[in-house]
Structure 1
Amino acid sequence: MTDQPVFVLGGDLEALEPAAFETEEEFQELLARHPRVLDFGSLADGRPLRLMLVAREMGVPTSAESGPAYWLDHLFVDADGVPTLVEVKRASDTRIRREVVGQMLDYAANGARYWPAALLRRSFEETCAADGRSLEEAYGELLGDRSPEEFWTTVEERLAAGQMRLLFVADRIPLELRAIVEFLNRQMRQTDVYAVELTQYRGDGDLRVLVPRIHGEVATAAKSPSSRRTTVKTTRDDMDTVIRTRLAPAPRRIATALLDHAAARGRLEGGTATYPSMSVHYPVAGRQVPVWTLSLYDTPAREELAFSFLSLTRHLGLDETAAFAESLPTVPELTRKLEAQRERNYKGWPSVPLTALAAEPDAVEGILAAIEQLMDGKEAPPDRSA
C-alpha cells in the first residue's frame, strides 16, 4: 500500500505528500527547535508535558576521568526533573532496526553514572545562551518555587535511579524496533521507552505538516504503579535528625532558629530530593509567598540557605523584593550574590552556607527581622551592620 497524502482544507483542498527528511541534521534540528512534537503524556500533577532542551550532541563519558566517548542526539528534561534521551534516525539508516537500541542503552547507563547536576545545569544554560533565550524565561517554565540547584540535583537523582524516558525517533519505525521497545517497556520498571514515528508531509512553498505516532504507550500503561519510586517529602523530624547529628553547634543553632521561626510564622514544605530540604512560605500581602529553602546536602556534606528571589519578584514585584534584599544583614558571601542579583532585577536564588552565617554575629537574627518586616509590609532602613 502506498503512502497516502494528507489534505489541508482552506479556500481550496490542498494535498500534502509524504516527504523524507533530506538529512539527519535537518531532522535533529527540527526536534531541537520544536520539542513539542514529542510532548505526549503529562506530568505527575496532570499538567501537560513540556520538554526543554538541555543539549544537542550531549557528550557521554564512560568513566569519571575521561571525556565524552559517545554523543547523544538530544537530552531534554521536563518540569518534574525527568530526563528524556532522544536518538534520531532516518528510515534509510539500517541502524534503526537493532543497533540504535544498544546505542541508547549505552548512553542511558553511562549518563546515569557520569552526568552530574553541575554538568547538566551548565549544558542547559549554554544551550539557552546559544539560542538567545533568557535564563529567567527558561527557568520560569521549569522551576516553580525551586532553586536551580534543587532542580538539577533532582534530575541527577532521577538519572541515578533510572527514572528517565528513552525515545527512538524516526520518520518510519520498523516492526523490529517496535517489538524491542514494547519488550523493554515491560521489563524496565523505572524507565519508559517509546518509539516516535514522525512523518513529514510537504505542500506548495514552505507548507509542512508533521504527524507523530507513538509506540510503546500500551506497555508503559501496563506497568505496576507500585514498581515505580514513591516520592517522599522531607519532614521536620528528618531535618532535626541531620541537624542534631551532623551540624556543628553554630550552624545547628542557625538551622533550628530558621525552622522554628518558619513553623511559628509561616508554612514549611518538605522537599523531595534524596537529601533533606525544606522550603517556607510566609504570609505577605494576603498571600503565601515562598521566601527561602534550607538544604542539608549529603555529598559533599554542606548546608545552605537559598532565598527565592525569582518567586518573590513574581509575587510582590521588583521594588518590594529589592527592599527585602537591602534589609538582609551583611554577610560577605551573601552580599556579593545580592549585588549580582540587583543587576539582574532579582531573578535568581542566591544561597549562603550556614557556616558563612555562623561567622557573622547576629546574622540569623537579622534574617528573621528582615522576614518580619516583609510580612508586616513596613519600610525599614537597610540593615548593613556586622
Structure 2
Amino acid sequence: MTNIFIIGPDNSLTELTRTAYSSEDLFQRLLADHPSLLRSASGPEGRLLLVQREQPVPDSDDNSRRWSLDHLFLDRQGVPVLVEVKQASDTRSRREVVAQMLDYAANGVAYWPIERLIEAFHRTATHAGLQPDSALSDFLDGTDPETFWRAVEANLKSGRVRMLFVADRIPKELARIVEFLNEQMRPAEVLAVEIEQFTSSTGVRTLVPKLVGQTERAILAKAVTEPKASISETEWLEMLAAKFGEPYRAGAMQIMSWFRQNGFVVGLTESQDSVFANVPQPDARPAWPFFIRRSSGRIETALSYLANTKAFTTEQSRQILIDKLHAMPTSTLRSTKKLTSWPSFEIKDILEPDFFESFTNIAKDIKEKIYS
C-alpha cells in the first residue's frame, strides 16, 4: 500500500502518503501509549498491559542486566508479550534481530522473578500518573489480581510467551522466518505486526497495523497440542452459580440460548473465565462482540473488538452503540467515555423482561450491521 485517500464530509479528498517514522523512540512511545495498535496480536481478549519499556533481561540468577527488551506487555491471560521494534531503516540483519529476540525469551522465562515484574508494572503505572492497583483492576475487570499474577508466573515457567516483532515494514524474508517459527514453536508464539504510517501535507496521520505469522498451519498445530478447555459449559455455569447465586446461572443460560438461536457462535474462551458470543464477519474473521464473564458476574460488550469491524470502525458508530447501552433499563451498567472500552452489566439483569428485550434488540442490531 502506497497511498490512502480520505473523503471528508464536504466531499473533499485528502491524500495520505506512506512515510517513515521520524525516530524509533517515537515508534516505541506510540506502542507504549497505545497498546491497541497491537490488538491483533494481543490474545483472544485483545487487551495488553504495559509492564515496562526497556525491560531489563538478565542472563543469570543474580538479575544482572544483560539486555534490554523494547517493551514487555501482559495479555489478559497473563501471557508475557515480548515486543522488539525495528524500523525499515535499521541496518541489522534479520538473523541478528531474530536471534536477539530468542535470547530475550530464553533468558526472560528463566530469570524474570515475578516480584520484579510486579515492581516494574507499579513503576510504569506511577510514572504515567496512574494508581497501579486501580489501573490493574481496570485492566482485569473483575479477575482477582493475585490469580492474574500467578498465571503470569505459571506462563513464564512453562515457556508460554508471545514474541512480537513490530516494524513499519516487515520484509518478506523476516515474515517467512516468523511464520516458520510460529508453526514450529509451542506453547510459545512468534508473530509480527507491520504498522504503516501515512501522513498528509496538512498533518493528518493514519496508522495501519497488519498481523504477520498467524498462518492456518500454526493455528492448527497449536490447537492440536494445546489442551482443550478442561471444564464443560455445565461446570462453568455451576461455578458461576456458586460464586454469585442461581439468578446469574439462569441469566447466563437464557442469554446463551438466545445467542445460539439467533446465529451467534457461543463457546468458552481459552482462559475458561468467559463465554464468548461471536459473529463471524463476511470475510470469516471473528468479531467477538460479547463476553459473559464468570469472575465478575457480568456481560461485556467488547467495543475494542467491534472497532475492528467495518460496521463499527468509526467513533460515531460506537458512540451511538454506547448511547443505546446507557438507555437500557438497568442500574448496574458500568461504562466509560472511551470508545474502545468494555461496557458491562450484571448477568442477572437478563431475567428482567424489559431489559432482556432491550439488550437483545441491541445484539440483533450489532449482528445485522456486521453482516450487512
Q: Which amino acid aligns with 2:73?
A: F
Contact (CA 8 Å) 1:89, 1:96: kept in 2 or not?
no
SS of structure 2 residue aligned to 1:21: coil
| Runs (5+) with no aligned partner, structure 1 | 234-266, 271-278, 289-309, 313-386
Aligned partner (choices 58, 73, 76) of residue 73 of structure 2: 76
Aligned partner (choices 144, 148, 166) of residue 147 of structure 1: 144
| Distance apart, 1:268 and its partner CA | 8.5
| Runs (5+) with no aligned partner, structure 2 | 232-236, 250-294, 298-372
| Distance apart, 1:136 and its partner CA | 4.5
Which whole-Å CA distance do the structure 2 matches of 1:194 and 1:224 have between them?
Answer: 14
Tell me the residue number matched to 1:335. Answer: none
Distance 1:64 1:199, change over 3 A: same
Which whole-Å CA distance do the structure 1 matches of 2:230 and 2:135 have between them?
Answer: 27
Tell me the residue number matched to 1:228. Answer: 226
Distance 1:181 1:287, change over 3 A: closer
Contact (CA 8 Å) 1:190, 1:229: kept in 2 or not?
no
Contact (CA 8 Å) 1:115, 1:156: kept in 2 or not?
no
Contact (CA 8 Å) 1:62, 1:69: kept in 2 or not?
yes
Distance 1:32 1:231, change over 3 A: same
Contact (CA 8 Å) 2:58, 2:111: kept in 1 or not?
yes
| Distance apart, 1:194 and its partner CA | 1.0
Which whole-Å CA distance do the structure 2 matches of 1:232 and 1:59 have between them?
Answer: 35
Aligned partner (choices 257, 281, 285) of residue 243 of structure 2: 281
Which whole-Å CA distance do the structure 1 matches of 2:52 and 2:92 have between them?
Answer: 23
| Distance apart, 1:137 and its partner CA | 4.0
Q: Deviations over 1:158-185 (max 9, x none)?
A: 1221212111111111122111111101
Contact (CA 8 Å) 1:98, 1:176: kept in 2 or not?
no
Query: Which one has the largest radius of gyration?
Result: 1
Tell me the residue number matched to 2:206. Answer: 209
Contact (CA 8 Å) 1:20, 1:171: kept in 2 or not?
yes
Distance 1:287 1:212, change over 3 A: closer
| Distance apart, 1:19 and its partner CA | 0.8
Contact (CA 8 Å) 1:169, 1:198: kept in 2 or not?
yes
Q: State the TM-score, normalizing by the size of structure 1.
A: 0.58
Contact (CA 8 Å) 2:165, 2:192: kept in 1 or not?
yes
| Distance apart, 1:51 and its partner CA | 1.2
Aligned partner (choices 52, 57, 74) of residue 54 of structure 2: 57
Which whole-Å CA distance do the structure 2 matches of 1:268 and 1:121 have between them?
Answer: 33
Tell me the residue number matched to 2:118. Answer: 121
Q: Which amino acid aligns with 1:9?
A: I
Which whole-Å CA distance do the structure 1 matches of 2:78 and 2:156 have between them?
Answer: 9
Which whole-Å CA distance do the structure 2 matches of 1:86 and 1:198 have between them?
Answer: 13
Contact (CA 8 Å) 2:39, 2:47: kept in 1 or not?
yes
Q: Which amino acid aligns with 1:226?
A: V
Which whole-Å CA distance do the structure 1 matches of 2:239 and 2:191 have between them?
Answer: 34
User: Is residue 196 from structure 1 mapped to residue 196 from structure 2 by the alignment?
Assistant: no
| Percent of pairs with identical residues | 43
Q: Which amino acid aligns with 1:227?
A: T
SS of structure 2 residue aligned to 1:39: helix
| Distance apart, 1:113 and its partner CA | 1.0
Which whole-Å CA distance do the structure 2 matches of 1:111 and 1:34 have between them?
Answer: 24
Q: State the TM-score, normalizing by the size of structure 2.
A: 0.60
Distance 1:70 1:231, change over 3 A: farther
Tell me the residue number matched to 1:28. Answer: 28
Which whole-Å CA distance do the structure 2 matches of 1:97 and 1:42 have between them?
Answer: 23
Distance 1:172 1:282, change over 3 A: closer
Alignment of 1:136-175 (within 5 A): 136-175=133-172
Which whole-Å CA distance do the structure 1 matches of 2:61 and 2:23 have between them?
Answer: 34
| Distance apart, 1:146 and its partner CA | 3.5
Q: Deviations over 1:122-181 (max 9, x none)?
A: 111211111112335422343344432221121121122121211111111112211111
Q: Which amino acid aligns with 1:75?
A: L
| Distance apart, 1:79 and its partner CA | 1.0
Which whole-Å CA distance do the structure 2 matches of 1:31 and 1:211 have between them?
Answer: 13
Q: Which amino acid aligns with 2:153?
A: E
Tell me the residue number matched to 2:97. Answer: 100
Alignment of 1:1-386 (within 5 A): 4-10=2-8, 11=10, 12-40=12-40, 43-44=43-44, 48-95=45-92, 97-218=94-215, 219-229=217-227, 269=239, 281=243, 283=245
Distance 1:287 1:269, change over 3 A: closer
Tell me the residue number matched to 2:370. Answer: none
| Distance apart, 1:74 and its partner CA | 0.4
Q: Which amino acid aligns with 2:104?
A: Y
| Distance apart, 1:70 and its partner CA | 0.4
Contact (CA 8 Å) 2:42, 2:75: kept in 1 or not?
no
SS of structure 2 residue aligned to 1:176: helix
SS of structure 1 residue aligned to 2:92: helix
Which whole-Å CA distance do the structure 2 matches of 1:182 and 1:60 have between them?
Answer: 25
SS of structure 1 residue aligned to 2:47: coil
Distance 1:145 1:34, change over 3 A: closer
Aligned pairs, how many?
A: 244
Tell me the residue number matched to 1:352. Answer: none
Q: Which amino acid aligns with 2:36?
A: R
Distance 1:287 1:230, change over 3 A: closer
Q: Deviations over 1:278-298 (max 9, x none)?
A: x972559x769xxxxxxxxxx
Q: Which amino acid aligns with 1:222?
A: L
Contact (CA 8 Å) 1:79, 1:141: kept in 2 or not?
no
